[in-house]
Amino acid sequence: MSTGPRSIETPRPNVLLIEDLPSLQLVYKSVLMAAGHGVRVASTAADGMAQFIETAPDVVLLDLVLPDRDGLEVMQDMLALRPETAIIVITANGSINKAVEAMRAGAHEFLVKPFDEQRFLGAVTNAAGDHSLRRMGNPPIVAIAKSPPPPVASTTGAFIGSSDPMNRIHAKIRSVAQSMATVFITGESGTGKELCALAVHDKSSRAAGPFIALNCGAIPQDLLESEVFGHMKGSFTGAISDKPGAAAAADGGTLFLDEICEMAPALQTKLLRFLQTSTVQPVGATRPRKVNVRIVCATNVDPLDAVRRGQFREDLYYRLYVVPIHMPPLRERGDDVIEIAEAALARFAEEEGRHFDGIAHDVRALFRRLPWPGNVRQLLNVIRNVVVLNEGGIVTRQMLPGDLAKGDVMPAGPGTLNHASAEPGLDGLIGKTMAEIEQTVIEATLARHGGSVPKAARVLDISPSTLYRKIEGWAKG
């Protein structure tokens, strides 16, 4: 076989190919060899396992249906022997569930037959790069620093806590971090989905690379493509310079796509293509660029329900929903609410130059009892409110925001909303600006739903995080 041009910066791993169909063996082998890879071939699980032990390949291409044994079992045996091996499973069209099962069990990537040369080589190259990282122990990959830490309100708390649900989350993060598998985080608004994504990144072999977070629900849809894939100068009105986009900026690291179910259908198609080819083509660019990115995404809605309603592509769902992690709501985390409140109190007090002596027993009891519809974010807002509005001492019930102190209605934000206000009639709205009308209607909706942001958001048909941003904006403004 002839050998194609070699790129000096791309590692060329030894590949073990396990495929029982002779013609596909030849196809895969010729493509890999033309790309400069060393290839060993096996037709059965037994032969494949023997060669795996003998040659310790960097990458294994494994057909999941083999004549003598289930490919999934073979993969698990291989990973037990050499966990750093990148295993790409190949499956027949129509067996996506099997591929998803393999990804959950530690496969690096999956390919669906029939063969697509670009995707095939892309997967092997990505696997090779990731394997090198695992072997070398987190060398710097690109000169892009991690994105700035998120606001304090979300840096304290979500990962404090020793409840059983959180212990299970930590265990899952540890087991999935070293894989290339896409992580799909679900959970109510305010439960710490971005912190969970950051934890997955920090424990992975890409920890030295960038962590780029993008909220698909917070960016106008017409700008989202440019934000994700970038644009070239002059490609549209307002594109005054080249912009790399989040996918390229995350090269060598992790791209976190929050509120993924709010992505427009057209962009979902492009994201699917990106996941299949590992290439990005900025708006206005003439050729695509290869990137090595791990995707972590999150949503506060039921993604399968979004698929059923036709709002989210089913094929994209199966591509992304490989390792699900569900962040539990604060009300199901037992005494974590106290641990988080104490940690936040200490941190915010230090930031504000105040001294607090802890939380009174009756406030602790109240905190344990409350349903916390806004979850950790809401708790942090309450503690911030207490620290800002009080000089210090023990946190008592009287220091809490009005309705919270009564223990009957939940505040949605830092004590800024008047939930008891009368609902607006049309006459009361006339003469107000659109912004004022929006705020009035939102406040009235919140009041009708007992201050529950998720419930109000559902009625208003906007995401809870959008609602929180608006509330926080009013508090600041």
Q: What is the DSSP string of 120-188?
A: HHHHHHHHHHHHHHHHHTS----S-PPPPPPPHHHHSSTT----HHHHHHHHHHHHHHTS---EEEEE-
* Cα separation, 17 vs 408, whole angstroms: 63
Spatial separation of the C-alpha atoms in residues 227 and 282, rounded to whole Å: 9
Minimum distance of other proteins from residue 21's CB (angstroms): 6
In degrees and rounded to multiples of 5, residue 379 shows phi and psi of: -60, -45
* Among the residue ranges 113-121, 236-244, 327-335, 385-393, the one whose residues contact other proteins (CB under 8 A): 113-121
67 binds other proteins (CB under 8 A): no
Stretch that binds other proteins, among 25-33, 251-259, 274-282, 342-350 (CB under 8 A): 25-33
Q: Cα separation of 122 and 244, whole Å?
A: 20
Can you tell me the distance from the alpha carbon of 294 to that of 283, in angstroms, rounded to the nearest whole number? 22
Shortest Å, Cβ 99 to other proteins: 13
Report the C-alpha gap between 49 and 83 in whole angstroms: 14
Instruction: Look up residue 324 and give its two tokens.
Output: 């699900």
| 26 counts as binding other proteins under rule CB under 8 A | yes
Nearest Cα to Cα of residue 318 among 135, 91, 474, 153: 91
Nearer to other proteins, 34 or 459 (CB): 34
Segment interacting with other proteins, rule: CB under 8 A, options 26-34, 39-47, 74-82, 310-318: 26-34
Question: According to the binding rule CB under 8 A, does residue 114 interact with other proteins?
Answer: yes
Pick from 10, 14, 34, 119: which binds other proteins (CB under 8 A)? 34
Q: Which is nearer to other proteins, 27 or 208 (CB)?
A: 27
What would the x/- binding string for other proteins be over residues 378 to 407, using CB under 8 A? ------------------------------
Of 357, 387, 157, give the one whose Cα is nearest residue 401: 387
The 10 Å Cβ neighbour count of residue 142 is 15
Site string for other proteins, 68-107 (x = CB under 8 A): ------------------------xxxx------------
Using the rule CB under 8 A, give the single segment among 110-118, 168-176, 307-315, 324-332 that binds other proteins: 110-118
The binding site for other proteins (CB under 8 A) comprises 1-2, 21-24, 26-27, 30-31, 33-34, 65, 92-95, 113-115, 117
